[in-house]
Amino acid sequence: IDLIYEAIARAKATFKERIPDASEKEIKELSSILGIDAIKYADLSSHRLKDYVFSYDRMLSFEGNTAAFLLYAYVRVQGIKRKVGKDVETLIGNVSIKLEDPSEIDLALHLRRFGETLQMMSRDLLPNRLCEYLYDLAEKFHAFFRDCRVEGSEQEESRLLLCEATSCVLAKGLDILGLKTLPRM
């Protein structure tokens, strides 16, 4: 129990710094989710037959293979969707995804491997494989975000659909691992 309380307290300090306009109630909710998710993910991301060094700093870092890094990617996608302001559901089936930039192609190809990753994870009983996949997905999404403008671009709708696919896969993968998503970070 002390482990959980400490992770939540550290997450709370991080959120107070990162989101100064958030209410105390919101900070409490966000830090509870991140603190617990960080502990779960740190354990699940390690191979079950190997030892790992427990570190709050590493576990709550927004860099590297951590829950915070994955949640940040998810929150970033939600921000793009809000900023563009289009109903993604109306685009599905009506807009083709055009992949031109290498970052778009890399992200799309990685998204296609989700089902295969789930099968391997289930067959081998190794949740760390799903963690590795999600970490790679978040990295590829951040590269896409860096390289490809979504809002106002000629490919806005296509790229918005790619963002939606990323959001769905991240959310489903996190859910399978027993982790919750955050509305903002």
Residue with token string 């829950």: 67
CA nearest neighbour of 179 among 37, 78, 62 = 37
- The more confidently predicted of residues 56 and 96 is 96
Overall pTM > 0.75: yes
CA atoms of 70 and 50, how far apart (whole Å): 23
| Structure confidence at residue 43 (pLDDT) | 92
Of 44-48, 77-81, 100-104, 114-118, minimum mean pLDDT range: 44-48
Cα Rg of the chain, angstroms: 17
Please write the tens of the pLDDT for every residue from 130-174. Answer: 999 999 999 999 999 999 999 999 999 999 999 999 999 999 999
| Structure confidence at residue 60 (pLDDT) | 82
CA nearest neighbour of 162 among 93, 109, 104 = 104
| Structure confidence at residue 185 (pLDDT) | 86
Q: Write the secondary structure of 34-102 as one string of H (helix), E (strand) and C (coil).
A: HHHHHHHHHHHCCCCCCCCCCCHHHHCCCCCCCHHHHHHHHHHHHHHHHHHCCCHHHHCCCCCCCCCCH
| Domain 2-176 listed as CATH 2.60.120.1570 | no
Domain boundaries, the chain: 2-176
CA nearest neighbour of 80 among 137, 153, 173 = 153
Please write the tens of the pLDDT for every residue from 40-94. Answer: 999 999 877 777 777 788 888 889 999 999 999 999 999 999 999 999 999 998 9
